[in-house]
Amino acid sequence: MTKLKADRYEIRFSGSGGQGIITAAVVLAEAIAGSGKNHVCQTQSYGPEARGGTSKAEVVISKDLIDYPKVIELDLLLAMNQASCDTYFPDLKPEGLLVVDSTLVDQIPTDRSISIPFTQIAVKQAGKKLVANMVALGAVVHLTRVISPKALESTLMAKVPKGTEQMNLKAFRSGIRAAKKFDLEQLPPTVTPEEEEV
């Protein structure tokens, strides 16, 4: 009911605990902060368990100081499993975009979606499914253009554990490559389904 100004760009990363959801969001937020152009606010919610359970992280980007730190109208939802896709899809704004890991999500609620097998790509290209989060981050960076891939890469190299830099970098770049195959112009304009002709 409240009228909102288009002063924010909001991204939500979601999946299960252990998929690196929060790490991906932190790397993105740090890269954006480092570029010095925009304000950024990164929040998270997770259960008390170390693995499993649901995991969600949000990144809000704005030219102005950010008041409410969480998502109000979701621009992009990354769903790394079916449960999070089902739970959070309704929060997408009509012109928002759904990005799913098609390795783990097979029921996709809208045609305005980008479906990429992040986990599979991680295993094939980088050798570990652990870095599916970075493959997904690559796709998110390419699709949203909220930060240049170069700026993100330097943050990523500094942020990931020593010795895993190349693997993470490889994963990130393969995510960008995978997302390049999609043309956002070809997607329907909104996430609400078309009236079906009977």
Partner 1 sequence: MTKRQSKKRILLQGNEAVVEGALAAGCRFFAGYPITPASEISEVLSVRLPKIGGTFIQMEDEIASMGAIVGASLAGVKSMTATSGPGFSLMQENLGFACIAEVPCVVVNVMRGGPSTGLPTNPAQGDVMQARWGTHGDHPIIVLAVSTALECFEITVKAFNLSEKYRVPVIILSDEMVAHTRETVTLPPHDEIEVIDRITPSMPPEWYIPYKNNSKGVPPMSALGDGFRHHVTGLVHDVRGFPTQTPHEIEAFISRLFRKVTQGFHEIQITQSYLMDDATVAVIAYGSVVRSAQRAIIDARNQGVKAGLLQLTTLFPFPRHVVENVLKQCRFVLVPEMNIGQISREVKRVNQFGTHVEKYNRIDGQLITPDEICVKLLTTLG
Site membership for partner 1, residue 29 (CB under 8 A): yes
In Å, what is the CA distance from 79 to each residue of 19, 59, 68, 101, 167?
Answer: 11, 14, 23, 6, 22
User: Could you tell me which stretch among 46-54, 87-95, 144-152, 176-184 binds partner 1 (CB under 8 A)?
Assistant: 46-54
Q: Which is nearer to partner 1, 147 or 179 (CB)?
A: 147
- Min dist CB 188 to partner 1, Å, is 27
The answer to whether the CB of 172 falls within 8 A of the CB of 147 is no
- Min dist CB 102 to partner 1, Å, is 29
Which residue in the block uniquely carries the two structure tokens 């990130």? 172
Say which residues have a Cβ less than 8 Å from residue 96's Cβ, sequence separation at least 6: 73, 74, 75, 76, 77, 112, 191
Q: Which is nearer to partner 1, 70 or 177 (CB)?
A: 70
Site membership for partner 1, residue 40 (CB under 8 A): yes
Site residues for partner 1 per CB under 8 A: 1-4, 26, 29-30, 33-34, 36, 38-48, 66-70, 72
